[in-house]
Amino acid sequence: MDLKYFTADAFTREAFHGAQIAVFPEAEALTAVQMQTIAAEFNLSETVFVTAVEGSVGFHARAFSPREEVPVFGHSLIATAHVIVSSGLFDLPDGVHDLQMHCGERVTPLAVATRNGQAEQAQFAVTVTPTVDRFVPPRSELASFLSLSVDDLDAPDDLRSLLVACPKPYLVVAVKNRDAARRARFDFGKWSNSSAPSMLAQEILLVATGAEHHDAQFYARLVGPAIGVNDDPPVGVALPALAAWLCDHPHIRKGTYPFAVERGSRETRHSLLNIEMDNQGKEVLQLRIGGNAVLVCEGRMTLPR
């Protein structure tokens, strides 16, 4: 069996930056076991398999990390939207088109801007019901297992560290600036001796105001016990937690706010993620997350019979 595949870099306009995702646009004949095997072979953060197309507006997709099936969300969703248009799976004229991505029982609306048969930008909508807990480890413990000083946690704008779940839990830690976020190194020993492991969150989202990119208002980085000390993983899946964290601060006024989040650096796969959040002061939070992607590879995989 021969299968066409593409790799795309999501949340960037430049090849070899952003998040690397593999997409198989015509994967109907594959079993879940085969999908998992292929994802392990690619060994990227996620590999997406488009398993069915519904008319001219909908498609079904499944995503796998090298270890397990995961939701199609964030960087993998942006990459898939670009691939299905650019691969010719949908014949779309220039303009903005509304598509629907089915992942299990969840349906995610997509807006894809196209030009000359290519996707220029994609945006998806998501509604979350976050849970926020203000009881987090003291600043001295946070600084210790992040290998930072307590002064590095003196974030501007009265931003405080919180535990946010929507639904995956993150310990969101405000840091002083981008430099502090880049210098942070997770210390598993000091983490183990702190009160942090008693929380559900196993990933720490570092957030700083200000960024290197002129269009970004925030800088974000993920660290934690399951993340390599020098790794800089994609942050797309953590954006709902970041938005919910912002909305929990009383000085963030009600209304719709667009902003951008920077991840990485010129040396570590730079990303730019665009968000619109509707802060209505309610339990439910509506978000629109968008970005660009670049097709990098096109190939065929031959599966043994």
User: Domain holding 97: CATH number?
Assistant: 3.10.310.10
State the average pLDDT for the chain.
Answer: 93
Q: What is the mean pLDDT of residues 125-140?
A: 94
The number of domains in the chain is 2
Residue 151 shares a structural domain with residue 256:
yes
Q: Which domain holds residue 277?
A: 131-283
pLDDT tens track for 225-258 = 989 888 899 999 999 999 999 999 988 889 999 9
Residue 266 shares a structural domain with residue 155:
yes
Residue 263 shares a structural domain with residue 172:
yes
pLDDT tens track for 49-93 = 999 887 768 899 999 999 999 999 999 999 999 999 888 888 888
Residue 217 shares a structural domain with residue 249:
yes
Residue 191 shares a structural domain with residue 226:
yes
Residue 251 shares a structural domain with residue 164:
yes
Three-state secondary structure along the chain? Answer: CEEEEEEEEECCCCCCCCEEEEEECCCCCCCHHHHHHHHHHHCCCEEEEEEEEECCCEEEEEEECCCCEECCCCHHHHHHHHHHHHCCCCCCCCEEEEEEEEECCEEEEEEEEEECCEEEEEEEEEEECCEEECCCCCHHHHHHHCCCCHHHHCCCCCCCCEEEECCCEEEEEECCCHHHHHHCCCCHHHHHCCCHHHCCCCCEEEEEECCCCCCCCEEEEEECCCCCCCCCCCCHHHHHHHHHHHHCCCCCCCEEEEEEEEECCCCCCCEEEEEEEEECCCCCEEEEEEECEEEEEEEEEECCC
pLDDT score of 148 more than 90: yes
Residue 85 shares a structural domain with residue 204:
no
Per-residue confidence (pLDDT) for residue 116, from 0 to 100: 87
Least confident of 16-20, 164-168, 197-201: 197-201
Q: What is the mean pLDDT of residues 191-220?
A: 93
Q: What percent of the chain has pLDDT over 90?
A: 78
pTM to 2 decimal places: 0.93
Q: What percent of the chain has pLDDT over 70?
A: 100
